[in-house]
A and B are shown apart, each in its own frame.
Chain A
Amino acid sequence: MSDRIFKKLHILADAAKYDVSCSSSGSNRANKNKGIGNANQSGICHSYTEDGRCVSLLKILLTNHCIYDCAYCVSRKSNDIERAAFTVQEVVDLTINFYRRNYIEGLFLSSGIFKNADYTMERLVSIAKKLRLEHKFNGYIHLKTIPGSSDELVHEAGLYADRLSINLEIPTKEGLKLLAPDKSREEMILPMRYLKNEIIRTNEERKVIKSTPTFAPAGQSTQMIIGASGESDKHIILTAQHFYKKYHLKRVYYSGYVPISYDKRLPEIGTAVPMVRENRLYQSDWLMRFYGFKAEEIVNDTHPLLDLDIDPKLSWALRNQHAFPVDINKANYHTILRVPGIGVQSAKKIIMARRFGPLRIEHLQKLGVATNRAKYFITCLGFQQIYADKSGTNIKQYILAQSTSKYTKNNSQQLTLF
């Protein structure tokens, strides 16, 4: 092993870090052949970076050489940076040796595009193939599909990878055209559609023929860069919903844009990363995936932007006071789930616990409900709703006055004295 590998790892990990997807969940690959590794349904984070993000997979680029010139990307052709490329064997060795020491759950492999899409994709696939077949590796593999590569290669990738993804990058067609003139939305969506169909087809086949090889068992995901091209939250959330519905995506990731270039089309260097907005988008995403909300309930023409000072569920509740108060001891699960301050876990606990007797507000507090928010929207034993006639604006003020957001420090105009 040469010192060159340290350098390569530095360059190619550094270039891959802006891809936020790092999950290793959703696959249940057993270690059946006394090989190495398995994949865990819930996924495991092996470490956390100083910015607080999870490190689960060895996330690297195969190379940061690229023929494209996307303005938002560090690896863009016109950027004057040091370039490097791993060999197939180097990536395989790093993955296996990191995995054996329990540093990682597997590999997340992406790449700049060199020569052409197929040439690049072929190399990504050969790494996954080598890991699976030669090293009997059953850990997690996430491959980034290169837009424009052939169906045959994408198919082969699906046979060895747990998850495949194609990044949408810019949520709007126009934005993409402006910032990534070499790429087209259609070219990105084509393989997504192909993947969706293959995943459905192989799942059907597996129901009949057990020995059908798995195809991307953890599904496909995508990523959108937020705050680079002036898109609205409404646009982002509706786009996400569209992709969940039409392409059966497992996850949509939102990546607050970190300014990396002096390009006039982009926010200038030093502009703050839109972290709060990114957080609100993830909260909205959760509302759609686990709370039964439709995108149009969260954002619409009269409310196109997410509130930054309160979470989207509270925001929805304040705009829909006619749906409240909810009787904790009578309402069904889905109704309870819509109460601000009550999450999936506490909603389930409430349903179970109330079989043993009616619940009081102290009970709710003990089993994890954020009563400082919930109390404006519920009734329960011994608790009358006295805020029902107050306006949404009033309730919002009460709640804000009582809570301290973890982001207050970032937003505050006030200097702290001590």
Chain B
Amino acid sequence: MLKTLLYDGSWTGLMTIVFCSYEYKWQIATIQHNAQYIQSGLFVTTENIISDDDKAKRVLLGLEKKIGIQGIKELYYVFLSEIKHRELLILRSISYYFNSENKPNLNYANDDILQIKKIVRSVSREKHRLKAFVRFQKMKDGLYFANLEPDFNVLPLMVNFFKERFADQKWLIYDLKRHFGIYYDLDQVVEVQFSNTFNSDYIAFHLDDEELRYSYLWKHYFDSVNIKERKNTKLHVQSLPKRYWKYLNEKNLL
């Protein structure tokens, strides 16, 4: 009997699914997020999976033996990509991994694995870009604040980077698309959620007195280092995709 599985959308939940599908030898038709559940087809039964830390841990331990931490990281990136049907892709690959020897996640000739590598590349690329493209604005109370809207859910991957780099300043990076942010209070990083996001007027009102000057200095610098004789718009847009411009002061200020 084919099954539709419902889970809470968490990584632990997905690993619990892997565990159960092995334990009960399920044939799985789809995996869906609780909140987004629509309906299952005819001849399909629905099963609600409750996240279970122990079961997830056992799956991860088994996986580590087969594909190492690096391999697990790849699957986690695919999970954060939020790409449609990612759960099934992860499930399918895990079952392939468990049935093979010899670091099977390096078999680049396998279609699923190639797809995983491709997604990992996209997610890594965005993670790397956002490390660079976050633009903090200093607020009156000394907080460094940044908004962004990444394509993939990469904020969780950036916590350590910013924590290590800006250890002596309070900062907050907010994902407007997913409605959560990470906040560093000089000691640790916590996840935060605003009931209503700061609009631009609110931000402008609370900016530090020197903020705009530095913002303009940066814009000024950005314009000054350009070599007109070498203009290359295609390369420019390729390296600095337009969808990120909204939050880059050097592309925004007039």
Contacts and interface: CB of A to CB of B under 8 A. Distances in A.
Interface stretch (A48-56, A126-134, A160-168, A385-393): A48-56
A31 B164 contact: yes
A101 B222 contact: no
A58 interface: yes
A359 B229 contact: no
B231 A51 contact: yes
A30 B59 CA distance: 34
Contact of A100 (B144, B216, B220): B144
Chain B interface residue number, banded: 35 or more
A59 B227 CA distance: 14
B222 A100 contact: no
B169 A6 contact: no
A363 B231 contact: no
A50 B215 CA distance: 18
B102 A34 contact: no
Contacts of A102: 132, 134-136, 146, 166
Interface string B216-252: 1110111011111111111110111000000010100
Interface stretch (A189-197, A207-215, A348-356): A348-356
Contacts of B234: 52, 406
Contacts of A264: none
Contacts of A275: 230
Contacts of B102: 355-356
Contacts of B109: 353, 356-357, 359, 363, 366-367
B210 A1 contact: yes
Interface stretch (A12-20, A229-237, A243-251): A12-20
Nearest to A353: B108
Interface in B108-158: 108-110, 114, 128, 131-138, 144, 146
> Chain B CB within 10 Å — which of A349, A357, A406 has the most?
A349
Given A50-B236, A101-B136, A359-B109, A34 B168 contact: yes
A103 B224 contact: no
B106 interface: yes
A48 B227 contact: no
B218 A54 contact: no
A44 interface: yes
B236 A103 contact: no
Given A45-B239, A101-B137, A352 B217 contact: no
Interface in A88-147: 94, 97-98, 100-103, 136
Interface of B: 102, 104, 106-110, 114, 128, 131-138, 144, 146, 164-169, 210, 213-218, 220-222, 224-236, 238-240, 248, 250
11 contacts: A10-B220, A13-B221, A51-B227, A51-B236, A52-B232, A97-B210, A98-B221, A101-B144, A103-B135, A352-B108, A356-B107
